[in-house]
């Protein structure tokens, strides 16, 4: 970002009389990360952002926004008085987006959106100056922040959009006005707040509400809920998935522990490789390849880009236990779709004995019991020798699995028995074992992981 303070006044439609016209090179809302050249936005969080303006000034910001219902200071710092800080934040983002005028790719989905965002950015960066959402800054603060901090020479902006309520993605897409909208998949994440997968699909489809008239809608064609709703979208559509009814699908997948290779119908002589496990990540790569194809990126360039990928947020990671056992860890995030995907991927990897530790999946509302029970269809003694379950909801899965597993190989723990779980794992694990740890963060399996390492 690069603009004079007078331009900020103009963008916000505020008269600029006798102001010190300093140069703005970035924006921030966290005073701890403020730096010289920044314009500070005192956004309302758990505390009023105005409380941190002095801290931002001490860290060198060039100017600050100030809401008119707060007492105006007499400091030397340059400031812009607005009626509403959040609205000013979004207004300036829209102005700067129009000024830079990049091609905008918007990405959402119940799972995989951060990985897919990174894949798209990597593919498109082979021929463009690309900016993307940092980490998972995907809400009403993150999207304007992403826009306002993109370099002035940005040609493509890849924006991740998350949601926890209806209307949120509609609002975010009204800020970004995407040229390409991408939906990775529809799962059960946030079903506690939406009630049904149908309503989740409705909310995700809001990403097409402000899609440019000549834009493209890229989505998972294996999902009936999306296929049904896509009929209402007038823009060009491209689908990916595992079925041969999609525009792009994998004809061959070669699973690995830390990499996955695959071949597609579109480029049968080209083998793609991604530095992560799982067929679900192949789907994310297919979405990125479709965006790349729509953006006229050479297939060979896309192949090289995906092989060299570094993802912002790869929560599932391979680690080594103290005794040499392999640990596949995802102790910060879990939902039924993600759990099933990682179980299927682990089945396909040729390793020794496999033990799985599953903790409660949170925020599933009234569907919690049935969704925990549904994992039983994907767990079998021939694939996973021992199953360790943690949390009150996992009792339902234990009951379902009791017909398949003996009591010696199916163990349940309350959340306050993590120390017992750790001791049992330490006694059982051998250097040749592979152990999966997966749960929502609220179960705190990271404590178990720490003691195994």
Among 254, 288, 307, residue at a domain's last position: 307
Write out pLDDT tens, residues 173-195: 999 999 999 999 998 777 777 88
Q: What pLDDT band is residue 29 in, cutting at 50, 70 and 90?
A: very high
More confident residue, 46 or 452: 452
**Would the annotation count 184 as a binding residue?**
no
Average pLDDT for 167-175: 96
The residue out of 274, 307, 340 marking a domain boundary is: 307
How far apart CA 21 and CA 17 sit, in angstroms, is: 10
The CATH number linked to 60 is 3.40.1390.10
Query: From CA 86, how far away is CA 249, in angstroms rounded?
Result: 42
Determine whether the annotation assigns residue 122 to a binding site.
Answer: no
d(CA 169, CA 173): 6
Q: Does residue 247 register a pLDDT over 90?
A: yes
Nearest in space to 227 (alpha carbons), one of 211, 210, 243:
243
User: What average pLDDT does range 441-447 have in this prediction?
Assistant: 92
Average pLDDT value for the chain:
93
Q: Calculate helix-pair angle for 168-176, 197-204, nearest 10 degrees.
A: 20
The predicted structure's pLDDT at residue 79: 87
- Are both 111 and 239 inside the same structural domain? yes
- Residue 359 reports pLDDT greater than 60: yes
pLDDT for the residue 75 = 67
Does residue 214 sit in the same domain as residue 165? yes
Mean pLDDT, range 138-144, rounded to an integer: 94
Spatial separation of the C-alpha atoms in residues 323 and 6, rounded to whole Å? 62
Is 70 exceeded by the pLDDT of residue 314?
no
User: What are the helix and strand counts (H, E) for the chain?
Assistant: 16, 21
Per-residue confidence band for 208, with pLDDT thresholds at 50, 70 and 90: very high
Residue 93 within a domain: no
Instruction: Categorize the per-residue pLDDT at 312 as very low, low, confident or very high, splitting at 50, 70 and 90.
Output: low
Whether residues 45 and 125 share a domain: the answer is no
> Quick one: pLDDT band at residue 210, thresholds 50, 70, 90?
very high
Rounded distance, CA 288 to CA 122, Å?
9
Of 286, 307, 328, at which residue does a domain stop?
A: 307
Q: Are residues 215 and 127 part of one domain? A: yes
Q: What is the pLDDT at residue 428?
A: 94
109 in a labelled binding site: yes
**Same domain assignment for residues 354 and 252:** no
- Is 111 a known ligand-binding residue? yes
Instruction: Say what the pLDDT of residue 11 is.
Output: 95
Q: What is the pLDDT of residues 67-101, one digit of tens each?
A: 999 887 766 788 899 999 999 999 999 999 999 99
Q: What is the pLDDT of residue 91?
A: 97
pTM of the predicted model, to two decimals?
0.87
337 shares its domain with 446? yes
184 and 291 share a domain?
A: yes
Mean pLDDT within 126-141:
93
Integer CA distances (angstroms), 400 to 101, 107, 354, 369, 372, in order = 54, 36, 20, 11, 9
Number of domains in the chain: 3
| Whether the predicted pLDDT of 199 surpasses 70 | yes
CA distance 328 to 312: 18
- The reported pLDDT for the residue numbered 224 is 95
User: Which residues, 6 or more positions from 266, have their beta carbon under 8 angstroms from its beta carbon?
Assistant: 247, 248, 289, 293, 299
> Would you state the pLDDT for residue 175?
97
Sheet containing strand 156-160, edge to edge, reads: 130-132, 156-160, 103-108, 180-183, 216-220, 236-241, 248-254, 260-264, 271-274
Confidence of residue 161 (pLDDT cuts 50, 70, 90): very high
| Residue 97 domain-assigned (yes or no) | no
Rounded to whole angstroms, the Cα distance separating 424 from 256 reads: 29
CB half-sphere exposure, 425, CA atoms < 13 A: 36
For residue 313, pLDDT over 60 is answered with no
Instruction: Write the secondary structure of 372-411 as one string of H (helix), E (strand) and C (coil).
Output: HHHHHHHCCCCCCCEEEEECCCHHHHHHHHCCCCCCCCEE
**113 in a known ligand binding site:** yes
């Amino acid at each position: 970002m690069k603009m004079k303070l007078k331009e900020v006044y103009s963008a916000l439609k505020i008269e600029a009389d006798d102001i010190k016209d300093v140069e703005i090179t970035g924006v921030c809302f966290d005073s701890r990360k403020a730096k010289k050249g920044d314009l500070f936005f005192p956004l309302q969080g758990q505390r009023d952002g105005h409380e941190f303006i002095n801290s931002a000034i001490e860290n060198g910001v060039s100017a600050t926004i100030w809401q008119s219902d707060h007492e105006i200071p007499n400091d030397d710092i340059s400031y812009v008085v607005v009626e509403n800080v959040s609205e000013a934040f979004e207004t300036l983002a829209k102005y700067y987006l129009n000024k830079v005028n990049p091609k905008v790719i918007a990405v959402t989905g119940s799972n995989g959106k951060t990985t897919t965002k990174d894949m798209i950015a990597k593919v498109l960066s082979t021929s463009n100056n690309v900016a993307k959402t940092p980490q998972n800054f995907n809400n009403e603060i993150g999207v304007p922040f992403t826009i306002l901090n993109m370099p002035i020479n940005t040609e493509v902006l890849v924006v991740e959009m998350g949601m926890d309520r209806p209307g949120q993605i509609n609002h975010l897409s009204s800020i970004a006005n995407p040229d390409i909208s991408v939906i990775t998949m529809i799962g059960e994440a946030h079903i506690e707040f939406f009630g049904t997968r149908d309503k989740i699909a409705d909310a995700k489809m809001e990403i097409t509400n402000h899609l440019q008239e000549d834009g493209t809608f890229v989505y998972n064609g294996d999902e009936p809920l999306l296929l049904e709703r896509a009929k209402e979208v007038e823009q060009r559509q491209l689908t990916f998935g595992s079925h041969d009814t999609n525009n792009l699908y994998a004809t061959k997948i070669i699973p690995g522990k830390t990499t996955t290779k695959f071949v597609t119908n579109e480029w049968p002589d080209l083998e793609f490789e991604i530095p992560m496990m799982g067929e679900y990540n192949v789907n994310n790569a297919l979405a990125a390849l479709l965006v790349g194809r729509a953006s006229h990126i050479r297939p060979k360039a896309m192949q090289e880009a995906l092989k060299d990928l570094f993802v912002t947020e790869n929560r599932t990671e391979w680690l080594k236990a103290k005794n040499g056992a392999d640990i596949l860890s995802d102790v910060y995030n879990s939902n039924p779709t993600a759990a099933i995907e990682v179980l299927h991927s682990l089945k396909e990897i040729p390793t020794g004995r496999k033990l799985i530790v599953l903790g409660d999946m949170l925020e599933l509302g009234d569907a919690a019991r049935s969704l925990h029970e549904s994992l039983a269809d994907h767990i079998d003694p021939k694939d996973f020798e021992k199953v360790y379950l943690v949390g009150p909801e996992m009792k339902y899965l234990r009951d379902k699995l009791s017909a398949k597993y003996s009591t010696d190989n199916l163990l349940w723990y309350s959340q306050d028995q993590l120390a017992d779980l750790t001791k049992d794992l330490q006694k059982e694990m051998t250097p040749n074992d592979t152990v999966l740890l997966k749960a929502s963060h609220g179960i705190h399996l990271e404590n178990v992981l720490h003691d195994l390492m």
